[in-house]
């Protein structure tokens, strides 16, 4: 077997065998395939596609290319959730303690942010002292003790994805369904959970531009998960505007705390209640969504989920008093309001541009090792459909360095204002299982 034959076969539109896909992944991870050959194959896959079997074979070969986490010493079913990434998406911070407080088990491995979408690990790092690098023994013990833990993915989890993702990024081959599905699902399978809930987002701030593309991606991932004995379901949700109001690490943790106190934004609450209920059914803590939802509502109202978040912070070396004394979070020195240039109704909020603006303030990384400023970010004061008067604030920018008027003007243009009333589209488009 050799790479030239494999590339030629895919170039000519033929399906690759399991052995050929395995050969490529093994040789690539052993550093025996030059980048130009993997790139040529990626482009052939991008153009000619992969059938269901090939996508499944690639996912499994990638999942076994490095560490495979063994969570079998945790009693009960372990639930995992994955979002395809969005702006202001702090769902995991709410969901993890929420599901745990209802009796579900969540052993979550998350990543750092890159580009306009933030990462859960960076958000947690805004909590003073919080450690996301627990060894596997402590990780498992914590889930057995308090039902939840969130740690950073180990360095050797799916090394094939690290190589392929870096190549896809610079060869215009990121946005192919078989490549995205295998990238995400290989990491989920290697992370060891029994059930997987996918939040596949579509719209301006998301990977998939349209609902149809998000559904196609979700269906591909569901079939990979189910074929590998993981109960896999998906929520298709809109990223036509940021989720909640806050973008930026400490700002987002504070909004997650508000939500756990049952005083958070409506859209974030809706997504978390729905997702937690599905995860509890997947974990077999509840038989049906209605009883799961009633339990989730009760745990939110009684602040048991908030208490569980404090327990998780304490268990991971953080200072749980931040939950009650939010002044202990890192904060920026300066604030600037962005004002509406006219009266009307908010028609669109360009999530991706606002995500990039937050990165420019220091909330995220442009390149892998950039330092993060945990206090900076943007807090919206409006959502799509809201009425607005000229010179009312559209958002507040939290920053540490003086910013130029041109930056604020750019942010202002990320809010489109219509003369006529606008109806916001629903956050949750559909649920697939
Ligand atoms: N997230 C991933 O982990 N991989 C992709 O290819 C796209 C989004």
One of 1.10.1060.10, 3.90.79.10, 3.20.20.80, 1.20.970.10 is the CATH number of 3-49, namely 1.20.970.10
**Is 365 an active-site residue?**
no
Listed in sequence order, the DSSP H helices in 125-173 are 136-146, 159-170
Distance from Cα 294 to the centre of ligand 1, integer Å: 33
Which of ligand 1's atoms lies nearest the C-alpha of 165? 6
pLDDT for position 114 = 60
Q: Which of the residues 80, 122, 161, 204 is marked catalytic?
A: 161
Q: What's the angle, vertex CA 79, arms to CA 315 and CA 312, rounded to 5?
A: 15
Residue with tokens 């979002």: 83
Is residue 187 among the annotated active site residues? yes
Q: Which residue of the set 83, 183, 246, 283 is catalytic?
A: 183
Binding site membership of 184 for ligand 1 (Cβ less than 6 Å): yes
Q: What are all long-range contacts of 283-286, with beta carbons under 8 Å and residues at least 24 apart?
A: 283/76, 283/77, 283/78, 283/79, 283/99, 283/104, 283/105, 283/194, 283/195, 284/77, 285/102, 285/103, 285/104
Catalytic residue among 187, 201, 269, 350: 187
Cα Rg of the chain, angstroms: 22
Say what percent of the chain tops pLDDT 70: 99
CA 179 – ligand 1 centroid, Å: 8
Beta strands in 174-291 (DSSP E): 195-202, 231-238, 246-247
Is 116 an active-site residue?
A: no
Half-sphere exposure of 14 (CA within 13 A, CB side): 11
pLDDT digits (tens, 9 = 90+) for 42-83: 999 999 999 999 999 999 999 999 999 999 999 899 999 999
Instruction: Tell me the mean pLDDT in the region 353-382.
Output: 91
Cβ contact 85:117 at 8 Å: yes
CB 212 within 8 A of CB 79: no
Say whether 261 is catalytic. Answer: no
Q: 371 CA to middle of ligand 1, Å?
A: 22
Point out the catalytic residue in the list 10, 64, 82, 112. 82
- Which residues have CB under 8 Å from 375's CB, separation 6+? 126, 248, 249, 250, 251, 329, 330, 331, 332, 398, 400
pLDDT for 173 beyond 70: yes
Residues with Cβ < 8 Å from 111, sequence gap 6 or more?
119, 120, 121, 152, 153
Contacts of 24 (CB under 8 A, 6+ apart): 3, 6, 33, 38, 41, 61
Q: At what angle do helices 351-361 and 405-413 cross, to 10 degrees?
A: 160
Q: What is the pLDDT of residue 116?
A: 65
Mean pLDDT, rounded, for 84-90: 89
**Rounded to the nearest whole angstrom, what is the distance from the C-alpha of residue 128 to the centroid of ligand 1?**
29
d(CA 69, CA 50): 27
Asked whether 205 and 170 are in contact (CB, 8 A), the reply is no
Q: Which pLDDT score, from 0 to 100, does residue 366 have?
A: 74
Q: What's the pLDDT at 166?
A: 86
DSSP 8-class letter at 400: S
Instruction: Specify the residue with its C-alpha closest to ligand 1, atom 5.
Output: 180
Confidence check: pLDDT of 372 > 70: yes
The first and second tokens of residue 114, run together, are: 């890159």
Q: Which CATH number fits domain 331-418: 3.20.20.110, 3.90.1170.30, 2.40.50.140, 3.40.50.2300?
A: 3.90.1170.30
Q: What residues contact 103, with CB distance under 8 A and at least 6 apart?
A: 147, 280, 285
SS3 399: strand
Least-confidence region, from 97-106, 109-118, 195-204 = 109-118
User: 201 catalytic, yes or no?
Assistant: no
Contact status, residue 125 vs residue 372, Cβ threshold 8 Å: yes
Task: Return the structure tokens found at 102.
Answer: 């209802």
Q: Does residue 183 have its Cβ closer than 6 Å to ligand 1?
A: yes
Asked whether residue 104 carries a pLDDT value surpassing 80, the answer given is yes
| Fold classification of 78-323 (topology level) | Pyrimidine Nucleoside Phosphorylase; Chain A, domain 2 (3.40.1030)
Pick the atom of ligand 1 nearest to 168's CA: 6
Whether the CB of 180 sits within 6 Å of ligand 1: yes
Domain boundary assignment for the chain: 3-49, 78-323, 331-418
Instruction: Give the pLDDT band (50/70/90) at residue 328.
Output: very high
Please give the model's pTM, rounded to 2 decimal places: 0.94
What Cα–Cα distance (Å) separates residue 182 from each residue in 47, 211, 259, 289? Answer: 16, 20, 33, 29
User: Cβ of 58: how many Cβ atoms within 10 Å?
Assistant: 28
| Span 75-95, average pLDDT | 93
Ligand 1: which of 202, 207, 220 to mutate, most ligand atoms within 8 Å of CB?
Answer: 207
Residue, of 366 and 310, whose pLDDT is higher:
310
């Amino acid at each position: 077997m050799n790479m030239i034959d494999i590339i030629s076969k895919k170039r000519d539109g033929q399906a690759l065998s399991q052995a050929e896909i395995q050969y490529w992944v093994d040789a690539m991870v052993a550093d025996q395939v030059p980048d130009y050959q993997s790139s040529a194959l990626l482009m052939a896959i991008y153009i000619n596609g992969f059938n269901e079997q090939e996508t499944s074979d690639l996912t499994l070969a990638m999942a076994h290319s490095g560490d495979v986490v063994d969570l079998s010493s945790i009693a009960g079913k372990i639930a995992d959730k994955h979002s395809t990434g969005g702006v202001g998406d702090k769902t995991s911070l709410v969901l993890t303690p929420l599901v745990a407080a209802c009796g579900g088990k969540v052993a979550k491995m998350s990543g750092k942010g890159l580009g306009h979408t933030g990462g859960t690990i960076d958000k947690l790092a805004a909590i003073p002292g919080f450690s996301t690098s627990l060894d596997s023994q402590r990780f498992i013990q914590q889930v057995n003790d308090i039902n939840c833990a969130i740690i950073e993915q180990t360095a050797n989890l799916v090394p094939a994805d690290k190589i392929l993702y870096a190549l896809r990024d610079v060869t215009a081959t990121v946005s192919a369904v078989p490549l995205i599905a295998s990238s995400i699902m290989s990491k989920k399978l290697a992370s060891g959970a029994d059930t997987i809930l996918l939040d596949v987002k579509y719209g301006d701030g998301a990977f998939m531009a349209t609902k149809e593309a998000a559904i196609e991606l979700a269906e591909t991932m569901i079939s990979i998960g189910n074929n590998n004995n993981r109960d896999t379901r998906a929520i298709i949700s809109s990223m036509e505007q940021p989720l909640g109001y806050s973008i930026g690490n400490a700002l987002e943790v504070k909004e997650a705390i508000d939500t756990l106190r049952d005083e958070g934004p409506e859209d974030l609450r809706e997504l978390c209640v729905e997702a937690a209920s599905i995860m509890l059914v997947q974990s077999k803590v509840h038989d049906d969504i209605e009883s799961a939802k009633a339990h989730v509502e009760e745990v939110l109202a009684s602040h048991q989920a908030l208490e569980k978040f404090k327990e998780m912070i304490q268990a991971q070396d953080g200072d749980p008093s931040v939950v009650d004394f939010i002044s202990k979070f890192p904060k920026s020195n300066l604030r600037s309001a962005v004002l509406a240039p006219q009266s009307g109704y908010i028609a669109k909020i360009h999530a991706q541009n606002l995500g990039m603006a937050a990165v420019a303030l220091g909330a995220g990384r442009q390149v892998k090792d950039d330092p993060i400023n945990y206090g900076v970010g943007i807090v919206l004061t409006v959502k799509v459909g809201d009425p607005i008067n000229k010179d009312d604030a559209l958002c507040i920018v939290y920053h540490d360095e003086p910013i130029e008027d041109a930056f604020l003007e750019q942010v202002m243009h990320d809010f489109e204002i219509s003369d006529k009333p606008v109806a916001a589209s629903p956050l949750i488009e559909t649920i697939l299982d």
